[in-house]
Structure 1
Amino acid sequence: MIRRPSRIALAATAAALIVGGASLPAAPVSAAPASALVSSSATGPTSTDIVVHSAAMNRDIPLTVLLPKDRSRPAGVLYLLNGAGGGEDSATWQGKTDVVNFFAQKNAYVVIPMKGAFSYYTDWLKPDEKLGVNKWSTFLGEELPAVIDSTYSTNGRNAIAGISSSATSVLNLAIAHKGLYRTVAAYSGCAATSTQPGQTYVRLVVETRGGGDARNMWGPYNGPLWRQNDPVVNAAGLRGVSLYLSAATGLPGKYDTPQYVPDSATLTDQIVVGGAIEAATRQCTEDLAAKLGRLRIPATVDRVPAGSHSWKYWQDQLHKSWPQIARGIGA
């Protein structure tokens, strides 16, 4: 499925230039590598690990690509973001859900970045001492789609989905890259970033958990970039996108039991801490839904009556939102 020019074609092109007397311009010594596919290796019948070089960040980004069941015809692409850890820890879609098996029977490409911890998948103003250079909006919205579309047989229709902190990211990416995504699914996120609660949640991720400085991301607290990256403030930019939002109440639900979480300490943490976080994201989701309603922008909102901020519920939401995503990308 991967398209690369053959050595014969490259040699023929070079020979033609030499015979014709053309000269090749010398590449600047300091030129940074362009965004491109670096490597690809199959990891299963329907999964491949790839590495894509980001020119904006000047580093290689590992990703997992789940392949469509029917590869004889073009398919749409779902970009699926991990949470705060960015896939750099054990909390990943592949490790915590049935995503590989679920999509093995679907006709879509699923692209999962395995980097981006605590970055909010946005373009940072400046490099961070702890978290480095982050230009994720440029990578996800410009560089990566071009590489995916030139590497695989895609149909030009894209969707994006994310959980927790990346549920904020997917909304901002859709606003920043108008027309790129037909469908956006945000599970258990807090879209507000310019309110005091919203900024607190962002700082908990970037600073408390990640050790970075959120001012390197969006400038001074309460500054204009915090409003510019607030999907509630800028909800009008979501018009025309098929939207799916979900959050539970934070009350213990069916997966907050010893049957699913045998370790008592882990279960307590999931109920107490995960419950509080989910309750906060529920309020955030209601705020965004209300703003969309005032703007007469339609959205599917799944208000789950019970459940914590945890993976089993997000697996359910991916399954529930799939028909809407599939319609958008022609799967």
Structure 2
Amino acid sequence: MTTSRLWLAVVCAIVAVVGGGRATADPGAHVTGEVPLGGRAAQIDVYSPAMGRVVQNKVIKAAGAGAPTLYLLTGAGGGADGISWWDNTDVRHFFADKFVNVVMPVGGAFTLYTDWISDDPAVGRVRWETYLTEELPGVIDGALGTNGRNAIAGVSMSAASALDLAIQGGPRFSAVAALSGCPWAADPMGIAMASAQAVRGGGNPGNMWGVPGGPVWREHDVFANAGRLAGKSIFLAAATGAPGAADRGLPMPPLETIAGACTAAFAGRLAQLGIPAVHVHRPTGSHTWGQFEADLHEAWPHLAAAIS
């Protein structure tokens, strides 16, 4: 048996598909509370009808109305584990003088920030795509008086999710940044990588997108759907895995080496389609928050130009 077939067999073995429908947008999303966090930062709690619960969002508010919004997603733990842009980078200082609202949702660990087709015994009702593309932006626009223009960025697990959300959200996001992640395809290797994230959180990949390689998987295949990113500002960054000056924290060279290869492959796909993108392949960097922080700093001017 080839390696790819073995991966697919393993994924199929753990999948037990349960019937279910996809959530639709509900106009009932609303702010349930706000807690000041110092300066222009606040925790804004938003009720999600799609998920039937309140989601915390760390927000850095712009100095006045009419600013665009950057939705900034974190890694595999969803930020609830205390590992996030908010906790591990200079995000509050960096954006303090930028005319932009920065919204950092807390939650979504091991979910790929997508809509799962069925509720899962381990992770519950997962409708992050609906929340991030249909519910939260309207609430933020109303609460902060934005200009209605948005960018989305993700790192590690959420890098591929940011690309998928930029595709699924249509005109919702004018710009996207994918940092140190692994964009997926609905092929055996891509299925195995995406499924591994759900399994790490105790979830069943069959409850996420159904039969491996089936229609819902193909709908979220960012390589197959890359053409739908045309017209958006796209920033891609990853490194080789070799430790470097920007690294801070525990280095994870193998993860970054894989991310570097995946990101380069996706940049190649965009080039094949004639879609412009900025692709930064760093000679050093080993999947640390120091590297991610440097990448966000470099990505911001490209994102800002598209949404300001």
Structure 2 counterpart of 1:95 = 87
Aligned counterparts of 2:129 and 2:114: Cα–Cα separation in 1 = 5
Aligned counterparts of 2:60 and 2:263: Cα–Cα separation in 1 = 29
Deviation at 1:205, TM superposition (A): 1.6
Aligned counterparts of 1:83 and 1:92: Cα–Cα separation in 2 = 7
Out of 220, 244, 255, the residue aligned to residue 211 of structure 2 is 220
Aligned counterparts of 2:38 and 2:211: Cα–Cα separation in 1 = 46
Structure 2 counterpart of 1:294 = 272
- Give 1:226's aligned amino acid: W
- Contact 1:247/1:282, CA 8 A, preserved across alignment: yes
Larger radius of gyration: 1
Deviation at 1:206, TM superposition (A): 1.2
- Contact 2:27/2:135, CA 8 A, preserved across alignment: no
Out of 290, 297, 301, the residue aligned to residue 312 of structure 1 is 290
Q: Matched residue of 1:94: which SS?
A: helix
- Could you tell me which runs of 5 or more consecutive residues in structure 1 were left unpaired when the two chains were aligned: 1-31, 262-266
Deviation at 1:221, TM superposition (A): 1.8
For CA contacts below 8 A with separation 6 or more, give which structure has more relative contact order. 2
Structure 2 counterpart of 1:39 = 33
- Contact 1:81/1:162, CA 8 A, preserved across alignment: yes
Deviations 1:96-118 (A, max 9, x none): 10001111111100000001111
Aligned counterparts of 2:108 and 2:302: Cα–Cα separation in 1 = 27
Deviation at 1:65, TM superposition (A): 0.7
Residue 134 (str. 1) matches residue 126 (str. 2): yes
The 3 A distance-change label for structure 1 pair 114 and 243 is same
Q: Matched residue of 1:143: which SS?
A: helix
- Contact 1:75/1:107, CA 8 A, preserved across alignment: yes
Q: Matched residue of 2:170: which SS?
A: coil
Deviations 1:276-325 (A, max 9, x none): 11111111111111111111000000011111111110000000011111
Deviation at 1:165, TM superposition (A): 1.2
Structure 2 counterpart of 1:210 = 201
- Could you tell me which runs of 5 or more consecutive residues in structure 2 were left unpaired when the two chains were aligned: 1-25
Aligned counterparts of 1:220 and 1:254: Cα–Cα separation in 2 = 43
Deviation at 1:204, TM superposition (A): 2.2
- Give 1:298's aligned amino acid: P
Deviation at 1:255, TM superposition (A): 4.2
Structure 1 counterpart of 2:52 = 58
Deviation at 1:33, TM superposition (A): 8.9
Please report the TM-score for the alignment, with normalisation by the length of structure 1. 0.83
- Contact 2:184/2:194, CA 8 A, preserved across alignment: no
1:1-331 counterparts in 2 under 5 A?
34-68=28-62, 70-71=63-64, 73-207=65-199, 209-256=200-247, 260-261=248-249, 267=250, 270=251, 274-330=252-308
Q: Matched residue of 1:284: which SS?
A: helix
Moved over 2 A (4+): none
Q: Matched residue of 2:78: which SS?
A: coil
Structure 2 counterpart of 1:28 = none
- Contact 1:193/1:202, CA 8 A, preserved across alignment: no
Aligned length: 283
Aligned counterparts of 1:165 and 1:223: Cα–Cα separation in 2 = 22
- Give 1:92's aligned amino acid: S
Structure 2 counterpart of 1:11 = none
Give me the identity figure in percent.
43
Aligned counterparts of 2:96 and 2:237: Cα–Cα separation in 1 = 24
